[in-house]
Amino acid sequence: MQITWHKHTLHFARPAGTSRGVLQTKDAYFLLSGIGKEQMGIGECGLLRGLSIDDRPDYEAKLDWLTKNAHLSAAELFAELEAFPSIQFGYEMLLRDIAGKEHVLFPSPFTRGESRMPINGLVWMGDSAFMKTQIEEKLEAGFKVLKMKIGAIHWEEEWALLHYIRSHFGAERLELRVDANGAFSPEKAKKVLDQLAELEVHSIEQPIKAGQWKDMAALCARTPVPIALDEELIGVFSRARKREMLQAIKPQYIILKPSFIGGWRGSGEWIALAKEVGAGYWVTSALESNVGLNAIAQWNYTLQNPIPSGLGTGGLYTNNVQAPLFVSNGEIGYDPGQNWDFTPLGF
């Protein structure tokens, strides 16, 4: 099998604010195999600058290595790519795409257009007026689960926004999630958790920075609001280390971003180990284009996990691939009657 790779810079339709700054663009890398669009197999390596463990100077060199060594067995390639989880996933995706038809990687009622999946509506960081506008847009679009990024502006302002939402929509009608991206100190996190409990918030992702196992374990042991580990999973490669971390922290949930943790293989391992400590999980994208989002959504359906996922990022970019995916009334669906259009990628 011959493989080539292609780099494409995605442009956000509007700035995406996180606790680490504002995103304007995102580089995406695609693995390609085949001749012509009809026979093309494609996989996306979902690198996210500043967050992916494989955001390294030798990233493109490793892509070159893969194209020259595609004759090796899948086991050999996965072993060599262990420290490059996004390339692992891109390769895994490519193999599935080659074996499938019309970019259906996991045939199911979802890909046949017979079933949809609930997702959360994502509210990006910004000033309170901007965040309030996003909240109103998501509610008008029919979302029943809102996820709000917190930690960039004063917590008092963010709490006021959450209070505003909850004063209009009770917990039985609207599920609220927050994602701190490690923004708080352990002491501040304790106070934040207590305040979130007053608003019946469903969960908080990564309240403190990753790597503070003892502090995170203490928070998880007493928290009035379930804690979900996100960045904590990044860069933990061996099964033994994964088990050690989960048993030390004992989180209520883990968040699976396949591009960050070694694709479907890595995600499956995390799911199995999370069950050992009684932790739940849900799946979310890592700002991939519609190529990666399609692969994650199709796989997520096969898990039959009732917890709404975070797969509503397909509309973030002005130059995204056109795919059969769509979002309607707070759910993601797949329209098999719609065609793919890779023109924005230049091939």
DSSP character at residue 117? E
CA distance 167 to 145: 15
Sequence-distant (6+) residues with CB within 8 A of 288 are: 28, 44, 46, 259, 296, 313
Q: Are strands 175-179 and 203-205 parallel, antiparallel or unpaired?
A: parallel
190 catalytic? Reply is no
Sequence-distant (6+) residues with CB within 8 A of 116 are: 110, 328, 331, 332, 333
CA distance 206 to 208: 6
Catalytic residue from among 26, 149, 188, 242: 149
Burial label, 236 (beta-carbon count in 10 A; 0-12, 13-18, 19+): buried
CB atoms within 10 A of CB 230: 23
132 catalytic? Reply is no
DSSP character at residue 226? -
Residues taking part in catalysis: 149, 257
